[in-house]
Amino acid sequence: MSKSFRKPVSAIFLSLMLSAFAIANTGVVEKVLSGDLVQIGDTFVARLTGIEAPHRDEVLRYEIYDFTKRELEGKKVKFSTWTTDNTAAGIVHDENGYPFVEIEYWKEEYISFNEVLLKKGYARVDRKHLPEHLKHYLELEKAAQQKGLGIWKESSWISSLFVSQAFHGIGCHRLYHGSASYDKE
């Protein structure tokens, strides 16, 4: 086989393999468990790669959960797991044992749901679990932060601080007035 013939054949073969891989990794989001945790199919529960949505004691958690639910639940998605070596044994999991996935869903074309959350300010970059090929997430986060979207709204940050501090026993008076000496009740 000549070298000039091998390149197009290799490119076609690679293209077909990538297409088959994308088709094989589809499923229906059966349930949204949080802003960044979903159940695909009957048993596959996964966390979104490279991002972190607000937790239970943070502001906007319900709004972001509702958005994720509206956008994904009951819909067919494409997903790919984050692997270290392209094998099932190399799938990267979070601290709770959930595999990381990137999700694409249909909005006039397939788009990354992970990126949508970042662009809307509904998630922050999870720097601890950010693969090299998703480093552009940092720019998406920065843009949302500069625009003051979602969790980056000043009032959201203050409210999040209030909720977080209140749950940790500092108390409302101390936080509101900014002084530990005020809280003498």
- Who wins on pLDDT, 84 or 12? 84
Q: What is the pLDDT of residue 92?
A: 94
pLDDT in tens, 30-40: 999 999 999 99
Q: What's the rounded Cα separation, in Å, for the pair 83 and 88?
A: 7
pTM for the whole structure: 0.71
The domains located in the chain, with CATH, are 3-147 (2.40.50.90), 153-185 (no CATH)
pLDDT class of 55 with cuts at 50, 70, 90:
confident
Give tens-digit pLDDT for 71-127: 999 999 999 999 888 778 889 999 999 999 999 999 999 999 999 999 999 999 999
Identify whether the C-beta of residue 66 lies closer than 8 Å to the C-beta of residue 129: no
